[in-house]
Structure 1
Amino acid sequence: MEKKNTISLLGCGWLGLPLATALVKEGYDVKGSTRHTEKFALLEKEGVKPYRIDLDDEEERLDWGDFLDTGILLINIPPGVKRNPSESAYAQKMEKVKSALLVRGLRQVIFVSATSVYANTNAEVDETGPLEQSPRAKALWKAEEVFVKDPRFQCTVLRLSGLLGYDRVPGKYFAGKQNLTTGSIPVNYIHQDDAVLLLKTLVEQPHWGTVFNGVAPLHPVRKDVYEANAKELEFTPPTFAEPEEIPAFKVIRGRKAEELLHFTFKYPDPMKFYYEKSE
């Protein structure tokens, strides 16, 4: 039975938890998965019904209780390439998920991916851009294909750029570093708030069979972003050196989301993202 007002989130981490909270506030019944039972109290506090699901567990059952008694499954878990460098491992996990969906008769999936699937072209790239062949990129787009290429499913893919905001500060990762050579490279970022809003919009307007990029429309260069972060949050900025040749890059475009979904970014400019200042 279809449950239009019930959403199941496979993965309630840094992005999934605020998304779950936002959906609860919109009146949805939200079921959320976590690998750790210690997180149940936090999910319950936010009005989310918690489930323990660990796709790395070889003994994991395929029914997962009533987790899949839902209208849409939103998949938001990382590929874990560092733990398992096999480019097919993530797709195999998604095959496991698909088997569970087929058993329960659930056919609607929103899949959260990343714009790192695109190859560096030193130019603008939209949803039709060439795909990267690195292990991480292949892990992602092969996992997408598990649902996209199966006609039994209705699937929307959202490829997010670098997720930032609040405690994730790009410049802080490079505080005090010397002679970085990527200062002139344009950034591809999206603020957590906009990623949550975009996913919430896709729950309401799924646009099945469509791939969207989720990225802030402005693309300042890294040097400017890192130095602005350092000045605002009062940490030591990195220094930059001119490279012998321009490093490979891409500028991700996400106009489709703005046009088809009539989406307006809260933070269109990565120079003006909101971050929490350390105590």
Structure 2
Amino acid sequence: MSQPPEHLWQKRREPVVHSRADEGPLGAEQLKRFKSDGFLFEPEFLAPEEVEALKTELAALLDNEEWQGRDFTITEPKSREIRSIFAVHFLSERFRQLAEDPRLVDRARQILGGDVYLHQSRINYKPGFEGKGFNWHSDFETWHAEDGMPEMRAVSASIILTDNHHFNGPLMLIPGSHEVFVHCLGETPDDNHKSSLQTQKVGVPSREALSELIAERGIEAPTGAAGGLLMFDCNTLHGSNANMSPDPRSNAFFVYNRVDNAMQAPFAAARPRPEFLAHRLDGGWDELED
């Protein structure tokens, strides 16, 4: 007799939405959608002039030789093409302003039901033809195991910086997957981030679990013009394909964590990941200051 799907995961304990529609910018239907799906897409969130300014800033970051070769700048596994730039709100005043924009912060506070701080910021960049994919994963699995995040009380805000379409590797999500915590077997290797940020192999769901969840819930890939906003729960399973088109794909991510959910000792790693991956509650970053 085959085992039921529940042997692959356990039900979520924490609430998904912690506030009402009258306590923030998101309406009742939007909160309902976020609660049921684990994500919410708002196209044309930023004005065209804001998008153009961010594109200019992104180009400057990618061309900045000072950041090349630093540990917070991640390249593709087999090339020198930029894959991710972390701690971007420290590196750019314009992205710092975006991270602190009340339009984002107030949405995060409304969903999480309390004051928030920035746990992580990054830009994911997929150059045309060269950008590789990201395997299916839950961010919370890594943040819990390697950073010491106690509970599922964090949310990601992703701003589309270049048009996302079905051929340049848009973010894919499994609706409703945030309601379960998928068991990921295996021990966390030392300094796992040095390889996982290029190709994540540890802490990813099994194919059996993914097959069960996708058969039941499907896959969605929000696409649209630059300037859209995708907010998703820290436990929503997501990933992306390689960029098979000539069009680059880039998104800015800001992770907001509730203040009373600050990091503890890692739950499944020998030591915490570097600060450029998991910022402190006080907002500092010693490496850049040094």
TM band (smaller chain)? under 0.3
Q: What is the TM-score with the length of structure 1 in the denominator? A: 0.26
Q: What is the TM-score with the length of structure 2 in the denominator? A: 0.26
More strand by share: 2
